[in-house]
């Protein structure tokens, strides 16, 4: 068949370094950009096959998110804008690791297993971030698509969530919106402006936000969007990529992990600030108080703000819809406690990784999901959307109900339901704060985070650690969970867990407790237990203080 000849020929232009083995990890392939050319070409092939089997458009995003500039990576997007299904993650790994001479066999194996109809048309949307290597690598993806006779559309520079959005719009025949970047801005900004009109007495101060663009794609796109905001939000953009290096000492991951402001940003006391990550699918907020102390508002605080807002609206609208918040083990214990005991909403805990949260959130009428690191969104079931829609269109309603229904309707429109989206989350958070007339300090004061600490431990094989109960308990190696339980008992309000990282060759340790010293000590002691029981390498982990 000629398409296989074409694949053979083209794959010679994108050869695999012999012996190199890479895994489709938690969020796709990610490593040094120099090692990725063949991966990109092959993901172009795979996306084409996926498109043929689903008879829908598939997305391929070239990005390494919050990783350093030198790295790159690729994420596949399924028809409804969600992450690619687990079976196809396995195919991705197989195809990526087939040696050059075995590529056609690996490809044919997938075609056979999935009974792919090769005469079916295929369409693939491709996007890329601002990394120096992204242009070359996204060309390799396009080459892969064309080698198998697929059609592609190159969106060029877009955020990851924008590409997810385009794929969903395309496959729902425009019901979700128009599959253009312009259409994305229009939909989100119109909804944001309608929401903002509900804010009474909003001062210019309240409308101001400082954004750290991580020197990446998010910065470009915020600039592009600004005119659509019609001055309802005044953004000061920092780390816009004009000078600094991508993700270097800035961005959501840096701010969350280091618990300090990014470099390159001026912060006055009480001023609202936020940071995006390198592909703009995460957001965290922060401010510094009058004493200069830094305060971080992470994904847990965002989930609390959004779910409180939605719950109040449901009550005002008289709608009986079940709302839940989905978190991971990393969620601060205070947030879970507040949500369950004060807010009285259902809280679910899943394994780390967006796809797990996303799936759990789909089980509810309204599922708010956020990882503590700032990745998250809100999902509305079809039935919930319809109920809200009906209510918003009902002209006989009294004022309060009508207002609540309209607010819910515009919330649905401002949210990117395909995946966590820093730009969309930012607009929703800004609208909620404006409507509630809330300062960032008041938002922060909803509950107080328990002090916490994260550490990493190097072990010879991190797979010896196996966990259960959404990664909250270790089942192997023997004795580790017992050791953790004993250590946790020494401290007040303490909790700790360990899990093998899905993106780095390390074991991660999390601890929280009543005081920072206790959290630090507990994290250190647990990391020593991991080192001892799970085959630590490279010298014992050092205490932090």
Phi-psi group of 201: left, alpha or beta (phi > 0 → left; psi -120 to 50 → alpha; rest → beta):
left
Q: CA-to-CA distance for 264 and 200, rounded, in angstroms?
A: 33
Distance CA 228, CA 436 (A): 23
* Closer CB to Mg ion, 130 or 196, in the complex: 130
Q: Does position 279 bind Mg ion by CB under 5 A?
A: yes
Question: How many chain residues interact with Mg ion (CB under 5 A)?
Answer: 4
Closest CA to 520 of 491, 499, 483: 491
DSSP-derived secondary structure letter, 485? H
For residue 503, state whether it binds ligand 16G (rule: CB under 6 A): yes
Handedness of CA 262, 284, 80, 228 (dihedral sign): negative
The two three-digit tokens of residue 275, written as one number: 């940071």
Q: How far apart are CA 266 and CA 261, in angstroms?
A: 9
Site string for ligand 16G, 308-347 (x = CB under 6 A): ----------------------------------------
Residue 70 or 504: the one with the smaller Cβ distance to ligand 16G is 504
Q: Which residues in 168-207 contact ligand 16G (CB under 6 A)?
A: none
Question: Three-class SS string for 521-536?
Answer: HHHHHHHHHHHHHCCE
Nearer to ligand 16G, 37 or 279 (CB): 279
**Annotated binding residue 353:** no
Beta bridge partners of 500: 507
Binding ligand 16G by CB under 6 A: which of 301, 375, 402, 524? 375
504 in contact with ligand 16G (CB under 6 A) = yes
**Residue 56 is encoded by which pair of tokens?**
């829908």
Is 502 among the residues that bind ligand 16G (CB under 6 A)? yes
Helix axes 103-113 and 86-97, enclosed angle (nearest 10): 160
> Does 373 engage in binding with ligand 16G (CB under 6 A)?
yes
HEC string of 23-46 equals CCECCEEEEEHHHCHHHHHHHHHH
360 is an interface residue for ligand 16G by CB under 6 A:
no
Q: Could you tell me the two tokens for 346?
A: 């259902």
- Respond yes or no: is residue 146 known to be catalytic: no
Residue 371 interacting with Mg ion (CB under 5 A): no
Shortest distance in whole angstroms from residue 320 CB to Mg ion:
36
Q: With contacts defined by CB under 6 A, name the span among 309-317, 348-356, 480-488, 511-519 that binds ligand 16G.
A: 348-356
* The token pair that represents 369 in the structure block: 């999901």
Is residue 27 close enough to count as binding ligand 16G by CB under 6 A?
A: yes
Q: Which of 167, 354, 465, 488 binds ligand 16G (CB under 6 A)?
A: 354
Q: Judge whether 449 is annotated as a binding position.
A: no
Q: Catalytic: which of 2, 8, 51, 65?
A: 65
Question: Reduced to 3 states, what is the DSSP secondary structure of residue 519?
Answer: helix
Known binding-site residues for substrate equal 371-373, 499-503, 508
Interface positions with Mg ion (CB under 5 A): 65, 277, 279, 281
Catalytically active residues are 65
Q: Using CB under 6 A, list all residues that contact ligand 16G.
A: 26-27, 352-354, 371, 373, 375, 501-504, 508
């Amino acid at each position: 068949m000629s398409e296989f000849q074409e694949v053979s020929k083209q794959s010679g232009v994108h050869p695999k370094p012999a012996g190199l083995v890479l895994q489709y990890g938690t969020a796709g392939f990610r490593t040094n950009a120099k090692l990725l050319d063949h991966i990109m070409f092959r993901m172009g092939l795979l996306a084409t096959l996926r498109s043929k089997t689903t008879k829908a458009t598939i997305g391929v995003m070239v990005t390494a998110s919050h990783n350093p500039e030198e790295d790159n990576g690729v994420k596949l997007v399924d028809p409804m804008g969600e992450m690619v299904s687990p079976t196809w993650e396995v195919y991705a790994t197989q195809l990526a690791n087939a040696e050059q001479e075995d590529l056609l066999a690996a490809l044919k194996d997938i075609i056979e297993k999935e009974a792919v109809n090769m005469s079916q048309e295929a369409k693939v949307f491709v996007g890329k971030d601002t990394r120096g290597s992204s242009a070359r690598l996204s060309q390799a993806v396009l080459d892969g698509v064309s080698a198998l006779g697929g059609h592609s559309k190159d969106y060029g520079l877009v955020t990851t969530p924008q590409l997810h959005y385009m794929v969903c719009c395309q496959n729902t025949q425009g019901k979700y919106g128009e599959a253009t970047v312009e259409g994305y801005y229009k939909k989100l900004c119109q909804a944001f402006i309608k929401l903002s009109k509900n804010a009474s007495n909003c001062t210019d101060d309240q409308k101001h936000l400082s954004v750290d663009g991580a020197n990446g794609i998010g910065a470009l796109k915020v600039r592009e969007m600004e005119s659509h905001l019609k001055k309802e939000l005044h953004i000061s953009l920092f780390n816009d990529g004009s000078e600094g290096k991508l993700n270097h000492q800035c961005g959501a991951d840096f701010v969350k992990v280091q618990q300090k402001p990014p470099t390159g940003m001026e912060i006055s006391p009480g001023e609202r600030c936020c940071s995006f990550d390198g592909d703009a699918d995460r957001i965290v907020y922060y401010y510094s108080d009058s004493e200069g102390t830094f305060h971080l508002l992470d994904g847990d605080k965002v989930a609390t703000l959004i779910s409180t807002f939605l719950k109040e609206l449901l009550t005002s609208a008289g709608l009986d819809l079940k709302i839940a918040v989905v978190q991971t083990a990393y969620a601060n214990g205070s947030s879970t406690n507040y949500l369950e005991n004060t807010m009285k909403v259902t809280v679910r805990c899943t394994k780390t990784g967006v796809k797990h949260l996303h799936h759990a959130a789909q089980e509810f009428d309204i599922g708010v999901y956020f990882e503590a690191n700032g990745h998250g969104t809100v999902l509305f079931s079809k039935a919930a959307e319809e109920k809200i829609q009906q209510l918003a269109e009902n002209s006989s309603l009294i004022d309060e109900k009508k207002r609540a229904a309209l607010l819910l309707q515009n919330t649905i429109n401002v949210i990117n339901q395909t995946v966590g989206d820093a730009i969309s989350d930012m607009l929703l958070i800004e609208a909620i704060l404006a409507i509630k007339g809330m300062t960032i300090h008041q938002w922060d004061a909803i509950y107080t985070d328990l002090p916490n600490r994260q550490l990493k431990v190097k072990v010879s094989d991190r797979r010896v650690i196996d966990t259960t109960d959404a990664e909250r308990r270790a089942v192997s190696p023997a004795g580790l969970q017992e050791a953790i339980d004993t250590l946790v008992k020494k401290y007040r309000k303490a909790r700790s867990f360990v899990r093998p990282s899905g993106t780095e060759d390390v074991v991660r340790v999390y601890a929280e407790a009543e005081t920072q010293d206790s959290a630090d000590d507990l994290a250190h002691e647990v990391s020593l237990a991991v080192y001892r029981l799970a085959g630590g390498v490279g010298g014992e982990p050092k205490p932090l203080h």
